[in-house]
Amino acid sequence: MKDPIKIKKKKHLEMILERIPKHPNPKVDLEQYSTPSIICADLLWNAYNLGDIYDKTILDLGCGTGILSFASCLMGAKYSLGIDIDEESVDLAIKTSQNNDIFKKYSPNINSDFLVSDINKYDNIFDLLYFNNIKKSNDLFKFDTVIQNPPFGSQERSKHHTDRKFMEFAVNSANVVYSFHMASTEEFVIKFYEDLGADVTHKLIYNFPIPKIYDFHTEDSKNVKVIVLRVDNSID
């Protein structure tokens, strides 16, 4: 059994996560916005208290530079795997995982891997690992918890319903899912998860700041209302 986590306050977690580098070269077609540390800390604090993080295997889909993976490990996750289609972001996540100065005070052994891959090509994590010739123990072919922040359509030019594939992949890959979505799509998303045979048990609401990082942005920043749904896919 692992030692109890050393982080005792949510604010401490937030302060550590502020040191995680953001997307090095945000790409509009991938709708890349770094998840703020205050939102990551609140989400992981809630997930930890619901028993979904400590000593669990965590799959971070659309991981970007790895902030949710690192937060999971800091809160006592057994292992985390971050997957993203963007090679630049994954490379930075790997470099950060090797920078022990960020984590050593609270978690000297960050047990995280990061992988460049497109989940649209696969049905679940088993297929993705198998076809990428990645050898993992059988217990990692289905994870305990997925945390995902897919492209959720905050821009008019973004592709609609790109989060559907993430939802399907997540439900096929883990017992519990934490999933970011535009608040305006809540009814559709809940029904979609229910049609997949899963139950939405909790909802968190955030104002997600969208900074002016793309040429077409006309405001310095704006807040977009998002929800994070906890989805239970476990079988009794």
Residue 139 pLDDT: 58
Closest CA to 91 of 24, 19, 149, 28: 24
Tell me how far apart the alpha carbons of residues 15 and 53 are, in angstroms, rounded to a whole number. 19
Tell me how far apart the alpha carbons of residues 135 and 59 are, in angstroms, rounded to a whole number. 16
Query: Residue 215: pLDDT above 50?
Result: no
Radius of gyration of the chain (CA): 17
Closest CA to 129 of 95, 186, 165, 169: 169
pLDDT tens figures, 162-192: 688 999 999 999 999 999 998 999 999 999 9
CB 53: neighbour CB atoms within 10 A?
28
CB 46: neighbour CB atoms within 10 A?
17
Least-confidence region, from 7-11, 106-110, 141-145, 231-235:
106-110
Residue 136 pLDDT: 63
Tell me how far apart the alpha carbons of residues 42 and 44 are, in angstroms, rounded to a whole number. 6
Query: Residue 155: pLDDT above 70?
Result: no
Query: Residue 69: pLDDT above 80?
Result: yes
Query: Residue 1: pLDDT above 50?
Result: no
* Domains of the chain: residue spans and CATH: 37-232 (3.40.50.150)
Please state whether the predicted TM-score (pTM) of the whole model is above 0.85. Answer: yes
